[in-house]
Amino acid sequence: MRCSRRLSEQLNIRVVHVCAYFAPAFVYGGPPRSILGLCAAQQHAGLDVRVVTTTANGDDELPEDANAMYDGVRVQYCARAWPRSVFRAPLLGAAVRTLMESADIVHLHGLWNAAIWAAAAEARRAQRPYVLSPRGMLSPPALAHDAWRKRAAYLAFDRAVIRGAAMLHATSRRELDELASRFGPSRTCYVSNAAGNSDWVRGPSSCSSGAFIPSNASTCWPRPSHAFVSSIRSRVL
């Protein structure tokens, strides 16, 4: 536990997470839950965590709220507007711009949506590095779904989002291998979705594929929430 507390003190920084949908919009499956888990674990570790997202909740909308709290995580829900299917929220870019002024890390989750396009554009305009978690959206099966739409979106928006990312975060070993093969191991890292896992493991500082698995501790790997942020801090800032 002493190791955990010392690491938490080292990681006293602010992280802004941006995603097209967030808890309680669990209609979208795993991402809202896993992003919430990562945010809660980082906050428990002593980080200042903020989330900017849209009001998307399937066919419904969550309440617009600039100062919401969900399970103790501070969230800004920006109203979704037409075309709702691409998660466009006209005020999201300005919200990201404001929070980014005092943020150490900007972390984008997902692709193929206007929320991420706007957030990435703000980060590039401010020349601020950002992390991108594709959340499986660059896997071959995902790319094959609505392929022609994604090809168009890639050329217009997502190519710049991916190229502009200082790091690509994989949440599975398979995704890590896919990203490393396309973009190089130096731009990729792997930390699983198990952000709340309290187990500690011992081992080397690199995985079987050669991509870096980060740690700020000399004798043990920290929990995934600690590992992820220590990786970003050492390789992006």
pLDDT single digits (tens) 163-202: 999 999 999 999 999 999 999 999 999 988 754 443 333 3
- For the segment 11-33, the average pLDDT, to the nearest whole number, is 93
The tens digit of pLDDT for each residue in 109-138 reads 999 999 999 999 999 999 999 999 999 999
The whole-number pLDDT of residue 195 equals 47
Instruction: Return the structure tokens found at 38.
Output: 């990562």
Backbone CA torsion sign across 158, 94, 32, 198: positive
Q: What is the pLDDT of residue 193?
A: 77
Give the pLDDT confidence score for residue 228 in this predicted structure: 56
Residue 9 has pLDDT above 90, yes or no: no
What CATH number is given for 2-235 in this structure?
A: 3.40.50.2000
Predicted pLDDT of residue 105: 93
In the structure encoding, which two tokens stand for residue 157, read together?
Answer: 């928006």
Give the pLDDT score at 235.
56
| Per-residue pLDDT at 222 | 40
Average pLDDT over residues 142-169: 97
Burial class from Cβ neighbours inside 10 Å (0-12, 13-18, 19+) for residue 133 reads buried
Number of Cβ within a 10 Å radius of residue 82: 8
β-pair type (167-170, 130-133): parallel
pLDDT tens figures, 24-82:
999 999 999 999 999 999 999 899 999 999 999 999 999 999 999 999 999 999 999 99
